[in-house]
Amino acid sequence: MWQANCRRMHNIADWISGTVMGGCVGRSRMDGPGSAHGSTRTKKRGARNEPLKKDRPKWKSEYPMTEGQLRSKRDEFWDTAPAFDGRKEIWDALRAAALALECNDLELAQAIVDGACITLPHGSLTESYDELGNRYQLPAYTLAPPVNLITETSGESKLSESAQKQAQPPPSREEFQLRVRLSTGKDVHLTASLADSIAVLKKQLEKQEDIEVIRQRWFFSGKLLTDKTRLQDAKIQKDYVVQVIVNINPSVIPN
């Protein structure tokens, strides 16, 4: 997995060097080290810039995680993170820097961060700012594997999935009002239970707001929710807010 990550990192880094990094370097030269514009950006961001540290966060998954599960979890984050806040080119630069750091190429990671004009107030990719003052936060699982990462084999994968299902308590049938925030800015309340799947709730939203199922994309904590996901699986509770992106053109929305 990590060899594949290194290859992906170099591919992304090549793209970063020709777009994000090139544009930022050009602006830096034009502004000059003593320009008022450069000083304004620093004051607006209000954070000191520390060099990137080699230390990576240590974290433990709720259950033993395979490399494939970790890769899927990361892909879901990187694919959905730009949907709500920040600039896509900065997210791409952070992704390349995270891969470079995991491949122990600190020099390349620092070059990507500097080239994209990303400020690190603590010397870590867990919190950063772009030149416009936008804040970016990366979860620990995007920067390092868990301490309980296991080697994936077909037998162990099935055993792990079986253990996870047995460990989960039966879903509650008690109904509550689920708050759903549409990308149009409207908040909607749906009658739901922890046992309900996203597919069921999509149909309910369609009946209530006349929004076709194919036009709905449900997200929670930056993660895309599949139709088979139950509220309990995503740990969505009564007082939580679920985001729904309503697409105007349903032909481009995969189910």
CATH number at residue 83: 1.20.225.20
Q: What is the pLDDT of residue 210?
A: 92
In a domain? residue 228: yes
Number of other CB atoms surrounding residue 221 within 10 Å = 14
Q: Are residues 9 and 127 in the same domain?
A: yes
Tokens of 182: 């549409």
pTM of the model: 0.51
In a domain? residue 163: no
Q: Are residues 124 and 33 in the same domain?
A: yes
In a domain? residue 157: no
Q: ∠ CA 44-45-46 to the nearest 5 degrees?
A: 90
Helix (H, G, I), strand (E, B) or coil at 138: coil
In a domain? residue 106: yes
Q: Are residues 124 and 185 in the same domain?
A: no
Q: How many residues does the chain have?
A: 255
Q: Are residues 146 and 180 in the same domain?
A: no
What's the total number of domains in the chain? 2
Q: What is the pLDDT of residue 38?
A: 34
- Residues of the chain below pLDDT 50: 2, 17, 19, 21, 23, 25-46, 154-157, 251-255
Q: What is the pLDDT of residue 83?
A: 76
Q: Are residues 182 and 144 in the same domain?
A: no
Q: Are residues 188 and 237 in the same domain?
A: yes
Closest by alpha carbon to 65, among 130, 167, 149, 186? 149
Q: Are residues 133 and 193 in the same domain?
A: no
Q: Are residues 123 and 72 in the same domain?
A: yes
In a domain? residue 127: yes
Please report, as a single letter, which amino acid is at residue 113. V
Domain that holds residue 44: 2-150
Closest by alpha carbon to 66, among 168, 198, 169, 164? 164
Q: Are residues 183 and 146 in the same domain?
A: no
- For the chain, how long is the longest CA-to-CA vector? 63
Q: What is the pLDDT of residue 5?
A: 55
In a domain? residue 26: yes
Is 155 in contact with 145 (CB distance < 8 Å)?
Answer: no
Q: Are residues 123 and 180 in the same domain?
A: no
Tokens of 67: 């490399």
Q: What is the pLDDT of residue 236?
A: 87
Name residues whose C-beta falls within 8 Å of residue 45's C-beta, 6 or more positions apart in sequence: 119, 129, 131, 133
